[in-house]
């Protein structure tokens, strides 16, 4: 019964390894096999769990000496600070004997999420000699001597060029009091996540498993595990009605296939709406063997496993061919921003003291005409305001001088932002623009807005729209294009990528997810889809 | 105004197409190909894609010269001897004004058949290789707006966009 309502289209999607032109990649966050399913689960529910795994290595210097006869034996512990202020431990280093300037080897894994603020608290303890034979995990922190504490936010570490941050240690709860030494945190992305391999598979002479039409084949690739079974790491999309299909390229990261010699199981199934897909054939090849297949331009034959009365496996005529095999370095979002890429906000809550452009729309200016893109600071020529205060001052004065008027039109503001983004492209490639629109009304020029968005879809621009109030924002969700329907302009042009993220404030109010987080979630993948398609590398990267 | 001697050379990579149908019900089975025309007499075509069916992929580069007066290029999707869909690409979408030379534009367009009905999407990328003059040929249309001069005196603002002067 459940099959009647199953999402056939969803079931036919490629999972885990595909390169989507619009949605971008995972940003180097390639999770291992089991996490792909979890990742997909969240994404199917509309929650983008884009996270980047990083490893933190710690070192400290000038620690206080607690022991009498020798130096302290320090160990560091990292906590995250939850919303309610409670600390939750995420890892600890090993104990280094007799040192006031330790460099711990044990790295601690943290996932970096762009869209939330992650508070970390570091504490250094001196471990008493009587505990030295215990595994670090079992040490009770209350029994150890406290040496100092420091805290920071994960983004502070990863946005530094060297990805390294030095903090002063202080006593618990009293920052800046006694100088208890310093702690240096360095963040590194696990190197393996950057190496990827992009393969386009093709099959020939597949067996027909369907009655009235041809098979609808798809491939599932699994990694063999030590215990003998296999863990699926990706599947291609389904090609309907085709015994000689070619699928869209599949991108596998080193974290997924672990090593080029690791044997992968490739199975070809015939898709059935009922979910009961029939196995057409399978074979086992490692990534290195696939590379050889590609170079020798030969195919490998599928094997039909033993079934029914037949006790042996049968070698089939069906073959798998590697059409394209490319090894790539996939730079992650962190690589770009730590190398110096600028993310320019136009109208945003920006806490640095900078000038940024601000416009208003839908207001009736003193000369009685309704403008759909006027400079918020009231100046006819300059559209910049200085810092958050400048923004608030401009908005306040605009409220006095401009009468609120409908209708809600976005087209012009988007065009203006697109012009700025387009202008920067000719000078240097290291700028990306983000336009934040806060609106309480449903857009009334939907077609014009769509036209503007489509025109801007190939530019380094993302548009974040927050809907406040009680209006029915259903139409706005078309702009977000999250359901896969690419926006189409009135001139017949189709959006190159999805650059809009729309969040109605009502939906997130009171929930765990803040508005900012929901808005910013898609940003790294929108940014990456832009730089990867244009083959732009992080600054200073050869 | 602007030197309009040498034509623009563009490099079009015809990437892929989506959802091509021969008739309302029948999807394209195989061997679809794309023809790009700068005018009725100058065209280039990709090879056929034997396996892609109604979602063919070519990733084929075509180099074309666009004379200065050309404002649109036409992209046709063919299956066998039939033209199943056409799209018109304004030159201003990939060349003009602010876009620097050698900028790779990724563009997608809706294809429409002979009756004007939708028939799929074509994805391509275009790079302008050289124009002979700063990328601002007379053919790149920059929008300009004017306020109609009425009898009424309106205190409106006119936005003028400077025409490039070389």
Chain A touched by B110 (CB under 8 Å)? yes
Q: Are A465 and A479 in contact (CB under 8 A)?
A: yes
User: Does residue A118 form part of some domain?
Assistant: yes
Q: How far is A415 from chain B (nearest CA, A)?
A: 12
Q: And the tokens for A528? A: 């990456």
pLDDT band with cut points at 50, 70 and 90 for residue A191: low
CATH number at A161 reads: 2.60.40.150
Q: What pLDDT is attached to residue A464?
A: 83
Q: And the tokens for B11? A: 């490099």
Total domains in the fold of chain A: 3
Chain B touched by A369 (CB under 8 Å)? yes
**In chain A, whose CA is at the least distance from the CA of B29?**
A242
User: Does residue A10 form part of some domain?
Assistant: no
Query: Is the pLDDT confidence value at A368 over 70?
Result: no
**In chain A, whose CA is at the least distance from the CA of B135?**
A426
User: Does residue A2 form part of some domain?
Assistant: no
B100 contacts A242? CB cut-off 8 A: no
Q: Which of A128, A149, A180 is the last residue of a domain?
A: A180
Q: Which residue has the tokens 């259903």?
A: A474
Helices and strands, counts by H and E, chain A: 13, 28
Q: Which of A281, A298, A329 is the last residue of a domain?
A: A329
Q: How far is CA A300 from CA A112, A282, A290, A452, in A?
A: 41, 10, 9, 48
Q: How far is A184 from chain B (nearest CA, A)?
A: 42
Query: Is the pLDDT confidence value at B142 over 50?
Result: no
Q: How far is B107 from chain A (nearest CA, A)?
A: 6
How far apart CA A451 and CA A487 sit, in angstroms, is 8
Query: Is the pLDDT confidence value at A48 over 80?
Result: no
| B3-130: in CATH 3.40.50.300 | no
Q: What pLDDT is attached to residue A231?
A: 76
pLDDT band with cut points at 50, 70 and 90 for residue A371: low
CATH number at A484 reads: 3.40.50
Q: How far is CA B127 from CA A233, A345, A527, B104, in A?
A: 36, 28, 21, 5
Q: How far is CA A198 from CA A179, A262, A294, B51, B122, in A?
A: 52, 17, 12, 19, 23
Q: How far, rounded to the nearest angstrom, does the alpha carbon of residue A88 sit from its chain's CA centroid?
A: 24
Residues A266, A350 within the same domain: no
Range of the domain at A225: 18-50+193-329
How far apart CA A305 and CA A317 sit, in angstroms, is 14
Q: Is the pTM of this model over 0.80?
A: no
Q: Where are the alpha helices (DSSP H) in A280-370?
A: 287-296, 333-339
Q: Report the residue from A488, A496, A535 with minimal CB separation from B107.
A: A496
Residues A246, A315 within the same domain: yes
Q: Which of A140, A155, A180 is the last residue of a domain?
A: A180
Residues A338, A478 within the same domain: yes
Q: pLDDT tens, A308-349?
A: 677 778 888 889 999 999 988 777 766 776 666 666 666 532
Residues A40, A80 within the same domain: no
Chain A touched by B106 (CB under 8 Å)? yes
Query: Is the pLDDT confidence value at A369 over 80?
Result: no
User: What's the number of CA atoms in the CB half-sphere (13 Å) around residue A152?
Assistant: 21
Residues A426, A515 within the same domain: yes
**In chain A, whose CA is at the least distance from the CA of B142?**
A419
**In chain B, whose CA is at the least distance from the CA of A424?**
B98
How far apart CA A270 and CA A207 sit, in angstroms, is 9
Q: Report the residue from B53, B90, B108 with minimal CB separation from A494.
A: B108
Q: Report the residue from B51, B99, B112 with minimal CB separation from A246.
A: B51
Residues A338, A325 within the same domain: no
Query: Is the pLDDT confidence value at A276 over 90?
Result: no
Q: And the tokens for A143? A: 């029994």
Q: What pLDDT is attached to residue B146?
A: 47
Q: pLDDT tens, B69-99?
A: 888 899 999 988 889 999 999 888 888 766 7
User: Does residue A8 form part of some domain?
Assistant: no
Residues A321, A200 within the same domain: yes
Residues A418, A283 within the same domain: no
Helix orientation angle between A411-427 and A446-456, rounded to the nearest 10 degrees: 10
Q: What pLDDT is attached to residue A193?
A: 61
pLDDT band with cut points at 50, 70 and 90 for residue A183: very high
Q: What pLDDT is attached to residue B2?
A: 45
pLDDT band with cut points at 50, 70 and 90 for residue A27: very low
Q: Report the residue from A244, A369, A422 with minimal CB separation from B98.
A: A422
Q: pLDDT tens, A428-453?
A: 667 888 888 877 667 777 888 899 99
Q: What pLDDT is attached to residue A515?
A: 60
Query: Is the pLDDT confidence value at B153 over 60?
Result: no
Q: How far is B88 from chain A (nearest CA, A)?
A: 8
pLDDT band with cut points at 50, 70 and 90 for residue A176: low
Residues A436, A492 within the same domain: yes
Residues A377, A485 within the same domain: yes
The DSSP line for B155-166 is -------PPP--
Vertex A127: Cα angle to A124 and A129 (nearest 5): 160
pLDDT band with cut points at 50, 70 and 90 for residue A202: very high
Residues A30, A137 within the same domain: no
- Domain map of chain B by residue range? 3-130
How far apart CA A242 and CA B165 sit, in angstroms, is 57
pLDDT band with cut points at 50, 70 and 90 for residue A277: confident
For A369-394, what is the mean pLDDT? 64
Q: What pLDDT is attached to residue A200?
A: 92
- How do B57-66 and B72-79 pair as beta strands? unpaired
Judging contacts by C-beta atoms under 8 Å, the chain A residues touching residue B53 are 239, 241-242
How far apart CA A417 and CA A434 sit, in angstroms, is 8
- Return the higher-pLDDT residue of B116 and A373: B116
Instruction: Report the b/e string of A195-204 with b at 16+ CB within 10 A.
Output: bbbbbbbbbe
Residues A340, A421 within the same domain: yes
pLDDT band with cut points at 50, 70 and 90 for residue A207: confident
User: Does residue A538 form part of some domain?
Assistant: no
């Amino acid at each position: 019964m459940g099959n009647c309502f199953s999402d056939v289209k969803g079931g036919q999607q490629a999972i885990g390894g595909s390169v989507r032109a619009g949605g971008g990649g995972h940003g180097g966050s390639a999770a291992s096999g089991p996490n792909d399913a979890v990742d997909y689960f969240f994404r199917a529910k509309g929650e983008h769990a884009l996270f980047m795994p990083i490893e933190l290595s710690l070192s400290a210097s000038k620690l206080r000496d607690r022991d009498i006869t020798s130096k302290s034996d320090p160990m560091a512990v990292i906590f995250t600070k939850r919303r309610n202020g409670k600390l939750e431990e995420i890892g600890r280093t090993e104990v280094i004997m007799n040192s006031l300037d330790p460099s711990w080897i044990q790295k601690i894994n943290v996932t970096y999420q762009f869209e939330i603020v992650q508070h970390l608290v570091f504490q250094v303890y001196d471990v008493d000699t009587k505990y030295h034979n215990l595994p670090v995990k079992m040490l009770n922190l209350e029994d150890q001597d406290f040496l100092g504490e420091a805290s920071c936010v994960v983004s502070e570490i990863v946005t530094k060029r060297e990805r390294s941050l030095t903090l002063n240690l202080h006593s618990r709860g009293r920052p800046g009091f006694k100088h208890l030494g310093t702690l240096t945190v360095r963040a590194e992305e696990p190197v393996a996540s950057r190496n990827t391999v992009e393969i386009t598979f093709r099959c020939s002479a597949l067996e027909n498993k369907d009655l009235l039409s041809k098979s609808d084949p798809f491939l599932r690739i699994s990694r063999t595990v030590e215990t003998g079974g296999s863990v699926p790491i990706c599947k291609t999309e389904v090609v309907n009605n085709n015994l000689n299909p070619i699928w869209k390229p599949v991108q596998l990261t080193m974290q997924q296939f672990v090593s080029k010699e690791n044997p992968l199981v490739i199975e070809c199934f015939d898709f059935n709406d009922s979910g009961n897909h029939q196995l057409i054939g399978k074979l086992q090849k490692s990534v290195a063997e696939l590379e050889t297949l590609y170079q020798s331009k030969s195919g490998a034959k599928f094997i039909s496993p033993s079934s029914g009365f037949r006790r042996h496996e049968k070698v089939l005529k069906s073959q798998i061919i590697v059409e394209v095999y490319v090894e790539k370095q996939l730079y992650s979002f962190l690589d770009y921003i730590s190398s110096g890429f600028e993310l320019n906000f136009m109208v945003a809550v920006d806490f640095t003291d900078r000038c940024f452009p601000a416009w208003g729309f839908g207001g009736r200016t003193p000369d009685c005409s309704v403008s759909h893109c006027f400079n918020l600071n009231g100046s006819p020529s300059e559209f910049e305001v200085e810092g958050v205060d400048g923004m608030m001052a401009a908005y306040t004065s605009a409220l006095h001088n401009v009468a609120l008027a409908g209708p809600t039109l976005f087209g012009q503001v988007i065009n203006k932002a697109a012009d700025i983004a387009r202008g920067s492209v000719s000078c240097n490639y290291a700028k990306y623009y983000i336009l934040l629109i806060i609106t309480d009304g449903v857009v009334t020029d939907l077609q014009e807005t769509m036209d503007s968005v489509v025109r801007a879809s190939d530019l380094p621009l993302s548009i974040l729209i927050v809907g406040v109030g009680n209006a029915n924002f259903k139409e706005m969700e078309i702009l977000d294009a999250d359901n896969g329907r690419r926006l189409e302009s009135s001139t017949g042009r189709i959006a190159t990528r999805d650059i809009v993220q729309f969040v109605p404030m009502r939906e997130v109010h009171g929930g765990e997810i803040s508005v900012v987080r929901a808005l910013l979630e898609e940003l790294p993948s929108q940014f990456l889809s832009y730089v990867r398609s244009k083959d732009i590398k992080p600054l200073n990267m050869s | 105004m602007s030197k309009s001697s040498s034509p623009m050379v563009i490099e079009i990579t015809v990437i892929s197409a989506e959802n091509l149908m021969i008739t309302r019900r029948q999807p394209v089975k195989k061997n679809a190909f794309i023809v790009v025309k700068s005018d009725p007499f100058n065209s280039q075509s990709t090879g056929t894609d034997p396996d892609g069916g109604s979602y063919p992929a070519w990733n084929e580069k075509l180099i074309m010269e666009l004379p200065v007066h050309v404002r649109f290029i036409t992209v046709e999707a063919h299956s066998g001897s039939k033209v199943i869909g056409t799209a018109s690409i304004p030159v201003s979408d990939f060349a003009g004004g602010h876009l620097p030379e050698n900028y790779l534009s990724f563009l997608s367009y809706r294809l429409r058949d002979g009756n004007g009905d939708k028939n799929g999407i074509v994805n391509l990328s275009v790079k302008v290789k050289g124009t002979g003059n700063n990328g601002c040929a007379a053919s790149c249309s920059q929008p300009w707006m004017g306020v109609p001069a009425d009898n009424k005196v309106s205190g409106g603002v006119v936005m003028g966009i400077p025409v490039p002067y070389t």
